[in-house]
Chains A and B, each alone.
Chain A
Amino acid sequence: MSRIACTAELANLPVLLGMVADMCRREHIDDATRHDLQLIVEEACVNVMHHAYPGGQLGLLALELRIVQEDGGPRRVVLTIEDQGRAFDPLSLAAPDTTEPVEARATGGLGVHLIRQLSNRQHYQRHPRLGNVFTIEKALAPPAPH
């Protein structure tokens, strides 16, 4: 398990993505999955950095990465993003209409749409002590034989 708690500001994005890269190296996770995990973490964390706390106020963001495997099941990565900002369920956002013509196309909700499409399960909880807890799971392909 790896965990980082930091202030929810864009300057900390490289550290958070670095933790994902380290885990992928350690766990021999393939490049395509690493790409998706980095994108998921960027989208989820940047949402917190931009929206969780009122302007000018710095709050905390915590990212936890775990590899989970139940007997016989596939390995999966469980990512948890916590913040103590205003209650907000990212999964309540409507998916953007990806068929609209260019002039009508909006970009709000694109990040959460990418998270949904690139992961297998997403869950949001407003926890009395931890605040917003957004959990995302992604199944891992079996490791390539050596």
Chain B
Amino acid sequence: MQINITQHDTIFVLAITGSIDSLNADELSQGFAASIAQGHVRLVADFSLVNYTSSAGLRSLLGTVKSCRLAGGDLRMASVQPQVQRVLDIAGFTSILNIFPDVRHAVESFTEAA
């Protein structure tokens, strides 16, 4: 798994590549936590290149979305692929996460709300 971070004004976009599993989910949590620690709590997770996530990845997403919202921000998802979407659906995460068709829409959703 790789994480590539870009900044769009006050919004951090974390583009993740590969599989999120029990071996690397902590790395993902740390990537999110590092952004939050710098005061960036409006995050977009670009999942266009994520083909797999286990419950370890779901735990990382849940912990991050809770931290962001407590600090007045949010973690929003973009370009979730069908197999990952199905796992999010089964876990009931599609009702708690804001999911957008692509990064542009996810980024713009923050400015619309502001």
Mostly, the B contact residues are helix
Q: Is the CB of B59 within 8 A of A110?
A: yes
Q: Is the CB of B22 within 8 A of A98?
A: no
**How many interface residues does B have (CB within 8 Å)?**
22
| Nearest-CB residue, chain A, relative to B60 | A107
A35 contacts chain B at the CB level, 8 A cutoff: yes
Contact A98 B54, CB 8 Å, known A10-B23, A42-B22:
no
- Chain A 96-130, CB-CB to B under 8 Å as 1, else 0, gives 11111111010100110110011000000000000
Q: Is the CB of A118 within 8 A of B90?
A: yes
Q: How many Å from the CB of B111 to the closest CB on chain A? A: 22
Contact of A98 among B65, B69, B91 (CB under 8 A): B91
Q: For window 71-107 of chain A, which residues contact chain B by CB distance below 8 Å? A: 96-103, 105, 107
| Nearest-CB residue, chain B, relative to A107 | B59
Q: How many Å from the CB of A9 to the closest CB on chain B? A: 11
Q: Is the CB of B23 within 8 A of A13?
A: yes
Q: Is the CB of B54 within 8 A of A42?
A: yes
B104 contacts chain A at the CB level, 8 A cutoff: no
CA distance A46 to B51 in the complex (A): 19
Contact of A35 among B52, B55, B95 (CB under 8 A): B52
Can you show 15 pairs from A to B with CB atoms below 8 A apart? A10-B23, A13-B23, A14-B23, A32-B83, A35-B51, A35-B52, A43-B55, A98-B93, A102-B65, A107-B58, A107-B62, A110-B55, A113-B90, A114-B55, A114-B91
User: Beyond the given A49-B22, A96-B91, A97-B92, could you list 18 further A-B residue pairs with CB under 8 A, ordered by the A residue number?
Assistant: A13-B21, A35-B52, A35-B83, A39-B54, A42-B54, A46-B54, A98-B90, A98-B91, A102-B65, A102-B96, A103-B66, A107-B62, A110-B59, A110-B91, A111-B54, A113-B91, A114-B87, A114-B90
